[in-house]
Amino acid sequence: MTQQHTRHRRFALAGLALSVVIGLGACSSGSDTPAGNQNSGTGGGHGAPAGAKIIAQPAAGAKDVAPGEPVKVSVTDGTIQTVTLTNAEGKQVQGQLTEDKRTWNTAEPLGYGKTYTWNGTAIGGDGQPVQLSGSFDTVTPRKQLHGQLNVGDNQTYGIAMPIALTFPSKVTDKAAVEKALTVETTPKTEGSWAWLEGDTSVHWRPKEYYKPETQVKVTAKLYGVKMGDGVYGKEDVSASFKIGRSQIVKGNTQTHRMQVIRDGQQVADYPVSYGLDSDPGRVTNSGTHIVMSKHATYSMSNPRYNYTDVNVPWAVRISNNGEFIHGLAASMWAQGKKNISHGCLNLSPKNAKEYYDGVLPGDPVEIEGSTQKLGPEDGDYADWTYSWEDWTAKSALKNS
């Protein structure tokens, strides 16, 4: 799979959840009411115009500010005249003022281990200027983590394709990471994130299979996100892809058949030899598998059963526990009659090639009839082994 990485950012969004009222020493225009308690002159108090109140986030004096949080200046009882945020080298951070001139937001991220200085002026309802000033420091991470997506730009996937974001080590603050993740779909598709595999991977899957031709965009704004224990996100990643036609494989280990249903119509019915039913180590698991990859040839090895480097044609991986759909001329005598494989679905080379040519990563393969069931422990793409209730229960946000 390919993925699109945003370029490594020189700067990162900053901000602890800190705010402070700065520069409250504006004149009171003759009122005895303290500046911090004045109103805008529309009811209450003496009706006198109030001095501007500037709130900066992060506040002046803040330390170890976490990049990835909002960086902004807001004003009550007045409007912003100027705002600058400057790094230690004198470069100004790009920002944008709202139309009502009451809020200024950064338009680019800040950097790790940097000192930034606020400067600016607001004018209050009393006509008096209030100054913004002060500096804050962003954090120097103990470690930065990079996330890798399993999907890539401009690719086409099947209707069961999960989105997986995987990290090289465990994420402690899973909720903070999940807040930085978005999935946009057209048409709108209900889905949820779930943390799997020892908290090193978070997956998104729809509640039901995607509708064909759905457009999907996943964005992981990880840079500057505090992941826990001094660990922060290294860079953002994103990908835009689409879902292709609907194709579902339905297999039954007892009938020794495999049907291919494309856009609601059966287009193939192949004789198959599944895994040997009498051996739990060889049986093909029942449950919803997902096509993970395909290979024109693949070398099969299973030391437990005394075979290595057996090359098979037109191999389609449907789990990480050794299950494939592939061609095998040597088992054609059993295909459609008897299960003798080591867990794979054996087809004739001709039928395997025909299936191989039309398959997409993310196609579901629904198998029934065997004594063993596919479970969450059976590989990276066991997402559909969970009920929707169990799946959503693994979201860090929905259960925080």
Beta-carbon contacts of 366 under 8 Å, excluding residues fewer than 6 positions away, are 248, 249, 250, 251, 287, 288, 289
Q: Which pLDDT score is estimated for 46? A: 53
- Give the end-to-end CA distance of the chain in Å, rounded to a whole number: 32
Gap between the Cα atoms of 127 and 320, Å rounded: 69
Beta bridge partner(s), residue 106: 95
Q: In this structure, what is the dihedral angle of CA atoms 153, 154, 158, 160, given to the nearest 10 degrees?
A: 30
- Domain 7-137 annotated CATH 2.60.40.3780: yes
Pairing state of beta strands 156-157 and 237-243? parallel
Gap between the Cα atoms of 241 and 48, Å rounded: 58
What is residue 346's three-state secondary structure? strand
Q: Which pLDDT score is estimated for 37? A: 32
Q: Which pLDDT score is estimated for 12? A: 34
Whether residue 187 is preceded by a cis peptide bond, meaning omega within 30 degrees of 0, is yes
What is residue 309's three-state secondary structure? strand
Q: Which pLDDT score is estimated for 400? A: 62
Q: How far is CA 376 from CA 22, 27, 159, 174, in A?
A: 53, 66, 19, 20
Protein fold of 143-244+388-392: Immunoglobulin-like (2.60.40)
- In the chain, the amino acid numbered 198 is G
In the 8-state DSSP scheme, what is residue 330?
Answer: G
Residue in 130, 101, 132 with CA at minimum distance from that of residue 28: 130
Tokens representing 151?
Answer: 């999907």
* Residue 361, number of CB atoms within 10 A of its CB: 22
**CATH 2.60.40.3780 location in the chain:** 7-137
Cβ(327)–Cβ(345) below 8 Å: no
Cβ(109)–Cβ(224) below 8 Å: yes
- By the 10 Å C-beta count (0-12 exposed, 13-18 middle, 19+ buried), 39 is classed as middle
**CATH 2.60.40.3710 location in the chain:** 143-244+388-392
In the 8-state DSSP scheme, what is residue 7?
Answer: P
Please give the average pLDDT of every successive group of 10 residues along the chain, which has 400 residues: 40 33 32 32 56 95 92 96 95 96 96 96 95 97 97 98 96 96 98 92 98 98 95 97 98 98 98 94 95 96 82 95 95 98 96 98 97 85 94 88
**CATH 2.40.440.10 location in the chain:** 247-369
What is residue 65's three-state secondary structure? strand
Beta-carbon contacts of 89 under 8 Å, excluding residues fewer than 6 positions away, are none
Pairing state of beta strands 265-271 and 191-196? unpaired
Pick the CATH number of 247-369 from 2.40.128.520, 3.50.50.60, 1.10.10.10, 2.40.440.10: 2.40.440.10
Would you name the residues annotated as active-site residues? 326, 344
Gap between the Cα atoms of 271 and 33, Å rounded: 89
